[in-house]
Amino acid sequence: MDGQPVGSSAGGEQPKFTVSIERAGEVLNVLVKFSPPIDSIEGRRWADLLVCEQIALQLVQEKGVPAVKTALLESEGRVFLEVVRFDRVRRFGRLPMISLRAIDNEFYGRQDNWVAAAKRMEADNRMSRDDARNLRWLSVFGDLIANTDQHFCNISLAGEAGHYSLLPAYDMLPMFYRPMDGAAPVNTFRPPVFSTSAAGEWDSALGAAIVFWERAGEDLRVSQDFRQICRANLEIVRDLEAGPRLVE
């Protein structure tokens, strides 16, 4: 852990550890993400991003899309994000899961984007209409909160016999701002062009993204510098409300 910044690898893995904890008489199996020491540039930025991840996942839940439960802690000069695992139950139980990457490799070999994957799987009756809609929603919301890490290992599914259900969302945060080479980028966020295949999810995801940047810009757990970035992004995303509308 010492001195190693949390980053995104080609497979999307970030340094973390697993632990079982007992809270309010209940055993929880959690993954714990952690920042480097927050007195460093990388550490402060990763701490900000972990706070943003908690805000984003809470918003996903509020919009009716399943997402993991989280808890944020600060100790020993680091920030820790506990993520309750959906592939474990009680002390030793395991539940099945498989990545979207594995499913896509098995049936399609595309690994292009979540919206296209949802369309393919719904058309082939490998995913329900509701789950396909939720996956599209997550993609649009992620685009609007600067989540540039939407690879196929960041979506998990459960199922068999060729039909799969979407498991709770995780790893939803503005990775556009992850620290790199010892620096914390302050680049201007430019929302990407959206697919008309997700037109039905646009309004809801846009509304959630506006609330995300509002909350992140006001949360005192976030550094002043990053709160300023969040407030600037709030105006950028708000401007989209007055722009051309996507029509199904």
The string of pLDDT tens digits covering residues 86-128 is: 988 877 778 889 999 999 999 999 999 999 999 999 999 999 9
Question: How far is the C-alpha of 174 from the C-alpha of 237, rounded, in Å?
Answer: 14
Q: What is the mean pLDDT of residues 207-227?
A: 98
Q: What is the mean pLDDT of residues 22-29?
A: 84
pLDDT-derived band of residue 161, with 50, 70 and 90 as boundaries? confident
- Tally Cβ neighbours within 10 Å of residue 228: 13
Question: How far is the C-alpha of 16 from the C-alpha of 3, rounded, in Å?
Answer: 14
Joined together, the tokens standing for residue 193 give 């062009």
Evaluate whether 48 touches 219 at the Cβ level (below 8 Å).
no
The answer on pLDDT for 200 being more than 80 is yes
The answer on pLDDT for 6 being more than 70 is no
The answer on pLDDT for 189 being more than 70 is yes
Per-residue pLDDT, 3: 38
Per-residue pLDDT, 26: 82
DSSP collapsed to 3 states, the chain: CCCCCCCCCCCCCCCEEEEEEEECCEEEEEEEEECCCCCCHHHHHHHHHHHHHHHHHHHHHHCCCCECCEEEEEECCEEEEEEECCCEECCCEECCCEEHHHHHHHHCCCCCCHHHHHHHHHHCCCECHHHHHHHHHHHHHHHHCCCCCCCHHHCEEEEECCEEEECCECCCCCHHHCCECCECCCCCCCCCCCCHHHHHHHHHHHHHHHHHHHHHHHCCCCCHHHHHHHHHHHHHHHHHHHCCCCCC
Question: Which domains occur in the chain, in start order?
Answer: 16-242 (1.10.1070)
**What confidence tens digit (pLDDT) does each residue in 170-185 have?**
999 999 999 998 899 9
pLDDT-derived band of residue 24, with 50, 70 and 90 as boundaries? confident
Catalytic residues: 149
The answer on pLDDT for 245 being more than 70 is no
Per-residue pLDDT, 5: 42
Question: How far is the C-alpha of 180 from the C-alpha of 183, rounded, in Å?
Answer: 5
Backbone angles phi, psi at 43, to 5 degrees: -65, -40
Per-residue pLDDT, 235: 97
pLDDT-derived band of residue 246, with 50, 70 and 90 as boundaries? low
Per-residue pLDDT, 22: 82
Per-residue pLDDT, 91: 75
Per-residue pLDDT, 160: 78
Joined together, the tokens standing for residue 130 give 């509701």
pLDDT-derived band of residue 7, with 50, 70 and 90 as boundaries? very low
Question: How far is the C-alpha of 216 from the C-alpha of 222, rounded, in Å?
Answer: 7
| Higher local confidence (pLDDT), 52 or 27 | 52
